[in-house]
Chains A and B, each alone.
Chain A
Amino acid sequence: MSRLGELLERGDELIITGEAPVIDGGTLADYETKLAELAPWCDAMNATDNTAAHAHASNVAMAIAMQRLGVEPILQVVCRDKNRIAQQADIMGAALHGVENICCLTGDDVTAGDESEARRVFDLDGPQLIRLASSLREGRYLSGRSVGTPPALVIGAVENPGAPPLDYRAQRAAKKIMAGARYLQLQICYHPDRLEAFVAALHQGGWTERCAILPSVVAVKGAGPLRFMDASVPGISVPAEVIGRVADAAEPAEEAYRLVREQCEHALSLPGVRGLHLTDFRKDGSMARLCTDLGIKPRSEREQHAHHRVVAV
């Protein structure tokens, strides 16, 4: 079973996932360098599926590359570019290479990318894709045909706690959990009150016992990326005072670091939150600083610690 799957089963330890950088050409060695900063802190990393509707090396190829480099991949599968037949083929194809973690998303629209003229697919939607993955795990394709030996898929999904209709988001998350999601990577949320209300609703409903909640944080270097996210990333709003706080600071990069650290501390303080999903846009060594400041040990040390504990019990 994947490390992520084991952590989900153990049910109490911290889980750190990360967004792996996309691949646009280059070699495996180049990619190893790109992964080096964030990978040591993560239990698993997302092999993304054409993020923000921009073409990159495919999710399956990226997952296999990560595996060859000793990084546990989470195969992201979105509904925008492929129909249900191709989605099943990707999941089964990745499973052939030992990729068990998958994360099911509806996905950004083609208009979010740089080829807006492309045909959008959305043959399935996010919740249907989760259920489809559950079917594969149970041993059959959507057609009912047997897959032979079922892959031990560790199925996850995403949800946005900060986009309207706010009061409905936790119910939608519950729907995904019922469909088979065992972890949820949340969209980055610059409204702490919204994140809090969302997690509290899931926790009170008992859903956090069945599903690990992993809020996202994005480390940025200044106000520019915050403005960009607010204006251009669908479903993300960054309040003017948050942008102002970073923009007007004497040292914007340092203030942006304090912001992301506060977001981590806040998220981890919420009952029902199991860990974090990290995205690094700084690429200046901040990931090591952030994890150290938060008291998060590198994966290798956390692994050892877990083994000791098992022996001690």
Chain B
Amino acid sequence: MGLVSALEHVVKKPIWDCRMCGQCVLHDTGMTCPMTCPKTLRNGPCGGVREDGHCEVKPEMRCVWVKAEERSRTLPLMPQDWRDHFNNLRPPVDNRLQGTSSWQNLLSGRDRETPPGWTPEPAEAEQAEA
């Protein structure tokens, strides 16, 4: 672990229970880390959320996405576009970035690289056809 990633871990671990995925999306998810979801879901809550809003896997824990959804609406001082990005389709995790600094990856643009076959929405032609 490099110096920057060590520093990032020291800051983010106590506050967000950061798992150092290296491709941080906290700002889009109500400042709630989706990697703390037992299924590491990055695109919203699974269908197993309990009636009391707790996690299917860990009944003692509030669902990460229930928390994220609430906080994306209610947290003060958050820029509006962070709130607006909540329902965006986030790409698959790049497992090679595990343990690296998302701060460095943000600056270099590495955290926005997606697989060549991935586009956020189906192609135009497909939409027209459908």
Residues of chain A at the chain B interface (Cβ within 8 Å): 79-80, 84, 106, 108-109, 111-112, 120, 122-128, 131-132, 134-135, 137-138, 140-145, 158-160, 163-165, 168, 171-172, 174-175, 178-180, 182, 187, 210, 234-235, 237
Contact = CB atoms under 8 A, between A and B. Distances in A.
B124 to A, nearest CB: 11
A172 B44 contact: yes
B56 A144 contact: no
Contact of A164 (B57, B63, B93, B120): B63
Contact of B117 (A80, A126, A141, A187): A141
Contacts of B70: 165
A171 B115 CA distance: 25
Contacts of B41: 106, 122, 125-126
B44 A143 contact: no
A60 B51 CA distance: 33
Contact of A125 (B39, B53, B122): B39
B64 to A, nearest CB: 11
* Chain B interface mostly: loop
B69 interface: yes
A127 B115 contact: no
Given A80-B39, A132-B118, A234-B49, 5 more contacts: A108-B48, A164-B51, A165-B65, A175-B87, A234-B47
Most buried by B among A111, A124, A137, A164: A164
Contacts, number: 136
Interface string B45-70: 11111110100110000010110011
B40 A165 contact: no
B121 to A, nearest CB: 6
A111 B93 CA distance: 23
A179 B122 contact: yes
A108 B56 contact: yes
B47 A142 contact: no
B122 A168 contact: no
B42 interface: yes
Contacts of B81: none
Most buried by B among A140, A144, A172: A172
Contact of B57 (A109, A132, A138): A109
Given A144-B117, A164-B66, A165-B70, A137 B46 contact: no
